[in-house]
Chain A
Amino acid sequence: MVEHGAAAPSQRARRRALSLVFMLVGVAVVVFAIVSQVNAPTAPGSAAGTIDPPQSTSASPSTSARPSASATGTTPQSSPRKSKSQKPTTQKPRTVKPRTEKPRTEKPGTEKATSRKTRTKSRPLLPPSKPVSISIPAIDLTSEVFAIGKAADGTLRAPEPGPDLNKVAWFEDSATPGQLGPVVLEGHVDTVEGRSVFFDLGRVRPGDEVTLKRKDGRTLSYTVDAVRSYPKSRFPTEAVYGGDISQSTLRLITCSDFDRRTRHHQGNLVVFGHLRTTAAGS
């Protein structure tokens, strides 16, 4: 005490205060870091649902005999957001199902055979008009949509840093909403800035509604048929960019399956849907 005396009481108090401040600030920083953690994006709940199921209504002779009537019916102007109560009762509720469930009719052959037999004529749809916005009420998503093309190496470009980074992109060589064939849209699950527009895409379930607004002002409503995750090395190009081209279908693509070792997403999540028919949409 005596030896250290000269410096002692006041200096010790200062040191003690300093060490306390250090600890407090340290704890504060750690708490902040914990609080600002973002949950990893949701993986699709199950392999439930069928990709491009044949549309039962198109098999009905009355529908295909009056193409113009059904064409106008594909553009319901009445609030599409009422959809939640209108989910087809045949669709399973949005519960997570065990992965052991076998995906139904994944083989294109069997699906095609059915759809081709029941379908007499595909219905005339709409003249081309690019999508300008998308809304998925089930995950509270709304976004502007911009057009994107292929890179020089033939891959699909992804939204780049800038004002469009966190918007949904429409692949410009795909169909526009309401044309025959797939409307292909993609969005980031996350970017260097954190979560992005399709962060919650894995929470979408069969039966959910996706609405697309076209440049000509029409709003079209699509029904989700299936949500799937694929390794990028086995990306199902034919199912995504093709599939059943006798109807207007929807594909929403984002990344999935992040690998911490490679620091890259190993997979793609794809939401498959089709244009809601008159019967289901009204």
Chain B
Amino acid sequence: MSLTPLAAQADDGDAMYRATLTELNGSGGSGSFMLTVDGDDATVEMNWNGLAETFKDGPFPHVQHIHIGGQGKCPTPSADKNGDDVISTPEGQASYGGIGTTLSVKGDTSAKSATDITIAPGGSSLDYKRTFKLNADTRSALKDGTGVVVVHGLDPSTMSKKAQKAKSPLVSSLPLAATAPALCGPISAAPTGGADTGTGSTSGIEHAGLFGLGGLLIAGGVLAGARLRKTAKAS
């Protein structure tokens, strides 16, 4: 897989990351995210469902990214600063930061393609697997635990009247609904190694001390008995 054997020896080795995606802005969706690092490459697997299905008679585009450089968290409702009942992408940035990697279905995966809906997945659900070169910023954010997966695109009918009419703060040709976050999940590294779930107390012999004590007592009794018999014989 990796064409760069030297890089594969890099300090982080082959790490694995996971995120559980939960709804933002009442999108009703949920999902799961997995990223495995293999040298310079990252393989992302992603499944989500329950998001807006159609947009202007086509599949609803859901741009999705690994956000970096924030607090590594998903925003809470208090992030809605303008009171339109929608946490817009900029409003969420204090929590999850800016864009590190675009999880497109083909082509560019850099932040430059962040709002390119032509290479974004579409429809209400996704079964995604893609291997691409992971950029250094995203890689270090993952290590720091500040990476957050965000999937964008809300069903306008679930939004307030005011928000329905609003334009996207990111792409003026799109409505707010198209770019507002719908799913969010902080990325964390899978635990390294196995689990330390035993002491071995039930393996082998328990109460070795008791066996020792019992053995001593028996030996003592036998010795004493033998001496008695000896003295008895001697007499």
* Interface residues in chain A, defined as those with a beta carbon under 8 Å from any beta carbon in chain B: 1-4, 8, 12, 15-16, 18-30, 32-33, 36-41, 67, 112, 116, 119, 121-128, 150, 153-156, 158-159, 171, 173-176, 179-181, 186-196, 198-199, 230, 232, 235, 237-238, 240-242, 245-246, 253-256, 258, 260, 263-265, 267-268
7 A/B residue pairs, CB under 8 Å, sorted by A? A23-B217, A27-B218, A38-B201, A40-B204, A150-B191, A199-B202, A246-B127
User: B16 within 8 Å of A by Cβ?
Assistant: yes
Other-chain residue from B189, B206, B222 in contact with A19 (beta carbon distance below 8 A)? B222
Other-chain residue from B46, B127, B201, B234 in contact with A121 (beta carbon distance below 8 A)? B127
For B234, the chain A residues whose CB sits under 8 A away are: 4
- Give me 9 other A-B pairs in contact (C-beta within 8 A), A15-B228, A238-B190 excluded: A29-B210, A121-B127, A122-B48, A150-B188, A155-B196, A180-B32, A237-B190, A253-B195, A258-B204
Q: Is the CB of B23 within 8 A of A127?
A: yes
Report the separation of the CA atoms of residues A159 and B220 in the bound assembly, to the nearest whole angstrom.
44
For B219, the chain A residues whose CB sits under 8 A away are: 26
Q: Is the CB of A189 within 8 A of B31?
A: no
Residue of A nearest to B213 (CB): A29
Which residues B179-235 have CB closer than 8 A to chain A?
188-207, 210-211, 213-225, 227-228, 231-232, 234-235
User: B50 within 8 Å of A by Cβ?
Assistant: yes
Residue of B nearest to A159 (CB): B197
Name, among B33, B125, B198, B214, the residue most crowded by chain A CB atoms within 10 Å (CB to CB): B198
Other-chain residue from B129, B198, B214 in contact with A190 (beta carbon distance below 8 A)? B198
User: Chain B 161-189 against A: per-residue CB contact (8 Å), 1 yes, 0 no?
Assistant: 00000000000000000000000000011
Q: Is the CB of A188 within 8 A of B190?
A: no
For B227, the chain A residues whose CB sits under 8 A away are: 15
Other-chain residue from B22, B34, B189, B197 in contact with A189 (beta carbon distance below 8 A)? B197
For A158, the chain B residues whose CB sits under 8 A away are: 195-197
Report the separation of the CA atoms of residues A156 and B194 in the bound assembly, to the nearest whole angstrom.
7
User: B89 within 8 Å of A by Cβ?
Assistant: no
Q: Is the CB of A23 within 8 A of B222?
A: yes
Report the separation of the CA atoms of residues A246 and B126 in the bound assembly, to the nearest whole angstrom.
9
Given A12-B231, A38-B202, A190-B202, check contact A32 B210 (CB 8 Å).
yes
Q: Is the CB of A268 within 8 A of B194?
A: yes
Report the separation of the CA atoms of residues A193 and B200 in the bound assembly, to the nearest whole angstrom.
10
B36 to chain A, nearest CB (A): 6
